[in-house]
Chain A
């Protein structure tokens, strides 16, 4: 086997420990003390320690070219051969750490949040399954195993969104998430198959080699790249498959934080980062437009949402759009950087919202009020005094997502915007991408501070509920504090301490590689462009962030600008945004309903025409035929032939038995006659 190397062993353990926890909890969880949560937490903490040790090893090696690949032969049929294995480089190690860290935080946070849940052990089991499959995606060195884990992630997402499946909305949301993902996965699969047909391998390195040797090129490569990107569109909830992510908030909040904010939805971005060398310029342009449009589009929806988790959901869609935009403009390291920082502050925001919802829920529960929505921000306000830790940590995370200096989001968002600006400078016809990027940054700052002001500041909108609000217990606030801490720039720039430059371990250890497609801009060209655009991008992004925060401040804190008046003035646009551009309605009207009608028509043809007339008619004819053959068989064959032979044998026997007289002399006479006959025959 392929053991014996520290990296390999650690990766194997990181991969399989959560699976072990899943197996134990799903089968024996109910019978274990505390329903087996300690098994999961133990497994994930060991995983975290291993991921950390890998990370420390990476820092001590300080080698941006580090790459470690191991594989074993899975299927070997001569011509058709699949090897499975790991490809570990610095990106993998960072991603493993992110997944293990957020997953551990989720496990710990859920101890309190899910306490007393009916399916407590299953919840922990599914978290294990998810962590296993996500790590599988991260470690995969080939498209085949990546695709397998990709689907496993989809399944665990389905199971966890539908955790409270007694609620119809949760059951529907889980189905919607799964089916919407499938649409993207079809494209993904087509992309994989085009690649395999052209190059004959699933292995990333071999694919890159195949592309650089022009085994596949031109529009077919673009098509393959777009197919692979379609998988990312589904998983990372990009326009037009963004509809599932906001509904996925029906799942438990820690799950939303883990999967639908930090890790699973980032899998799509991770995929594009991993496969960046395969994308042609045309494919990248389309990717950039999809990402840019998603970023601005989701941000405009987030402005008007009142459900605290919906705001965060659309914010996630928008931030993922950012990352995809960064991949599209070629600056994929920035995309990965944003993935990393975003995972921390967005998980923090989700835990914060979970903490707020938890408090609201308990307060409402004590009042026996089951009608008020505990997630609606219009029922909140002024929680800062009651929930100081939640308020503080969420504010820090919000500053990070808004792109304020000293926080991590500033660095990564700045890198993305610089990349976009540099791309636009060299390709002026795509100027709108920069517009998308910068205005989305402004809107993000606006709606995130709207969330903070509406939840934690101002006067309580429901004083009775407000009286029952308490800060969440320590197991819930500790993860918040950890993640808020990780939203500061310093963790990403060690060993340098310049809050305005992203120089640090990340930029030193994770460097962009060249695209494998001949003729694409090289990594150096892109890097130089970004470097050149950096200062201008920084100024602009600071400006737009200040604009968004300022507007939010005046509208929701000072209330010197009336939000109601503005929304009335916007009128049509406001309704459009509030109703999410009627996407669900239009999909329903133009996709699902026609599809249902088509299905019904097909069912009519199948059942009423084909089944009733053809199949039943066929059956009728068969029945008549069998009756005829039955008659022939029974009356003709059985009665005449078979029974006839029997009857003749019987008759013969009856007649012949009279010959047996019992007189010896008769027998002797017969023998004598026989002898005479033989003699006569012999003589003649």
Chain B
């Protein structure tokens, strides 16, 4: 049970769920949650490699970095979403298609 491939499998399922959320959700906050899932999938990978792949402590350090980064990212992304809400009065990202020609 306690093998690298199981961890990686779970990690990839987590990544796929995150990606699915990022691509399909219309709600900006949901998209953000998808991003968090992707980051955590990566974290899981780091930790799995720390334990089985020989990355040792550096894997765990990177995981801590990613957690910090995810916190910062969430802060900035939520600020952006608040700004979008202020400007467009919605957080549905399909309505925020100003970049279209």
Interface residues of A (CB under 8 A from B): 657, 660-665, 668-669, 672
* Further pairs besides A660-B101, A665-B22, A665-B23: 12, Cβ < 8 Å: A660-B99, A661-B97, A662-B99, A662-B101, A663-B93, A663-B94, A663-B100, A665-B24, A668-B22, A668-B23, A672-B19, A672-B23
A-B CB contact pairs (8 Å), 20 listed: A657-B101, A660-B99, A660-B101, A661-B97, A662-B98, A662-B99, A662-B100, A662-B101, A663-B93, A663-B94, A663-B100, A664-B93, A665-B22, A665-B23, A665-B31, A665-B93, A668-B22, A668-B23, A672-B19, A672-B23
- Which partner residue on chain A sits nearest B28 by CB separation? A664
Contact indicator A662/B23 (Cβ below 8 Å): no
Cα distance A664–B93 in the bound complex, in angstroms: 8
Chain B residues near A663 (CB, 8 Å)?
93-94, 97, 100
Chain A residues near B24 (CB, 8 Å)?
665
B1-40 vs A, Cβ < 8 Å mask (1 yes, 0 no): 0000000000000000001001110000001000000000
Cα distance A10–B100 in the bound complex, in angstroms: 97
- Which partner residue on chain B sits nearest A669 by CB separation? B23
Cα distance A661–B93 in the bound complex, in angstroms: 12
Chain B residues near A664 (CB, 8 Å)?
93
- Which partner residue on chain B sits nearest A668 by CB separation? B23
- Nearest Cβ on chain A to B26's Cβ, whole angstroms: 9
The main secondary structure of chain B at its interface with chain A is: loop
Chain B residues near A662 (CB, 8 Å)?
97-101
Chain A residues near B22 (CB, 8 Å)?
665, 668
Which residue of A657, A664, A669 has the most chain B CB atoms within 10 A of its CB atom? A664
Cα distance A669–B21 in the bound complex, in angstroms: 12
Cα distance A663–B28 in the bound complex, in angstroms: 12
- Nearest Cβ on chain B to A671's Cβ, whole angstroms: 10
Chain B residues near A661 (CB, 8 Å)?
97, 100
Chain A residues near B99 (CB, 8 Å)?
660, 662
Interface residues in B49-101 (C-beta closer than 8 Å to A): 93-94, 97-101
- Nearest Cβ on chain A to B95's Cβ, whole angstroms: 10
Chain A residues near B19 (CB, 8 Å)?
672
Cα distance A390–B41 in the bound complex, in angstroms: 136
- Nearest Cβ on chain B to A652's Cβ, whole angstroms: 15
Cα distance A657–B100 in the bound complex, in angstroms: 9
Cα distance A660–B23 in the bound complex, in angstroms: 16
Chain B residues near A660 (CB, 8 Å)?
99-101
- Which partner residue on chain B sits nearest A664 by CB separation? B93
Cα distance A464–B6 in the bound complex, in angstroms: 151
- Which partner residue on chain B sits nearest A663 by CB separation? B97
Cα distance A662–B99 in the bound complex, in angstroms: 5
Cα distance A278–B93 in the bound complex, in angstroms: 113
Cα distance A668–B24 in the bound complex, in angstroms: 10
Chain A residues near B98 (CB, 8 Å)?
662
Cα distance A621–B59 in the bound complex, in angstroms: 86
Cα distance A665–B35 in the bound complex, in angstroms: 12
Cα distance A664–B94 in the bound complex, in angstroms: 8
- Nearest Cβ on chain B to A175's Cβ, whole angstroms: 83
Cα distance A663–B100 in the bound complex, in angstroms: 8
Chain B residues near A665 (CB, 8 Å)?
22-24, 31, 93
- Nearest Cβ on chain A to B25's Cβ, whole angstroms: 8
Cα distance A664–B19 in the bound complex, in angstroms: 13
Chain B residues near A669 (CB, 8 Å)?
23
Chain B residues near A657 (CB, 8 Å)?
101
Chain B residues near A672 (CB, 8 Å)?
19, 23
Chain A residues near B23 (CB, 8 Å)?
665, 668-669, 672
Which 5 residue pairs are nearest across A and B when measured between Cβ atoms? A662-B100, A662-B97, A662-B99, A665-B23, A669-B23
- Nearest Cβ on chain A to B2's Cβ, whole angstroms: 28
Chain A residues near B101 (CB, 8 Å)?
657, 660, 662
- Nearest Cβ on chain A to B39's Cβ, whole angstroms: 15
- Nearest Cβ on chain B to A318's Cβ, whole angstroms: 106
- Nearest Cβ on chain B to A676's Cβ, whole angstroms: 11
Cα distance A663–B26 in the bound complex, in angstroms: 10
- Which partner residue on chain A sits nearest B19 by CB separation? A672
Cα distance A238–B99 in the bound complex, in angstroms: 103
- Which partner residue on chain B sits nearest A666 by CB separation? B23
Cα distance A664–B22 in the bound complex, in angstroms: 10
Which residue of B19, B98, B99 has the most chain A CB atoms within 10 A of its CB atom? B99
- Nearest Cβ on chain A to B101's Cβ, whole angstroms: 6
Cα distance A664–B35 in the bound complex, in angstroms: 14
Cα distance A361–B24 in the bound complex, in angstroms: 123
Chain A residues near B94 (CB, 8 Å)?
663
Cα distance A662–B97 in the bound complex, in angstroms: 5
Cα distance A672–B99 in the bound complex, in angstroms: 20
Cα distance A665–B24 in the bound complex, in angstroms: 7
Cα distance A665–B93 in the bound complex, in angstroms: 9
- Nearest Cβ on chain B to A308's Cβ, whole angstroms: 105
- Nearest Cβ on chain A to B49's Cβ, whole angstroms: 20
Cα distance A592–B64 in the bound complex, in angstroms: 117
- Which partner residue on chain B sits nearest A665 by CB separation? B23
- Nearest Cβ on chain A to B31's Cβ, whole angstroms: 8
Cα distance A665–B34 in the bound complex, in angstroms: 12
Cα distance A672–B16 in the bound complex, in angstroms: 11
Chain A residues near B31 (CB, 8 Å)?
665
Cα distance A664–B24 in the bound complex, in angstroms: 11
- Nearest Cβ on chain A to B51's Cβ, whole angstroms: 26
Chain A residues near B93 (CB, 8 Å)?
663-665
- Which partner residue on chain A sits nearest B94 by CB separation? A663
Cα distance A60–B100 in the bound complex, in angstroms: 113
Cα distance A549–B90 in the bound complex, in angstroms: 140
- Nearest Cβ on chain B to A683's Cβ, whole angstroms: 15
- Nearest Cβ on chain A to B94's Cβ, whole angstroms: 6
- Nearest Cβ on chain B to A122's Cβ, whole angstroms: 82
- Nearest Cβ on chain A to B74's Cβ, whole angstroms: 18
- Nearest Cβ on chain B to A430's Cβ, whole angstroms: 112
Chain B residues near A668 (CB, 8 Å)?
22-23
Cα distance A672–B97 in the bound complex, in angstroms: 20
- Nearest Cβ on chain A to B34's Cβ, whole angstroms: 10
- Which partner residue on chain B sits nearest A657 by CB separation? B101
Chain A residues near B100 (CB, 8 Å)?
660-663
Cα distance A669–B24 in the bound complex, in angstroms: 9
- Which partner residue on chain A sits nearest B100 by CB separation? A662
- Which partner residue on chain B sits nearest A660 by CB separation? B101
Cα distance A665–B25 in the bound complex, in angstroms: 9
Cα distance A279–B39 in the bound complex, in angstroms: 117
Cα distance A663–B96 in the bound complex, in angstroms: 8
- Nearest Cβ on chain A to B19's Cβ, whole angstroms: 7
- Nearest Cβ on chain B to A174's Cβ, whole angstroms: 85
Cα distance A661–B98 in the bound complex, in angstroms: 9
Cα distance A661–B97 in the bound complex, in angstroms: 7
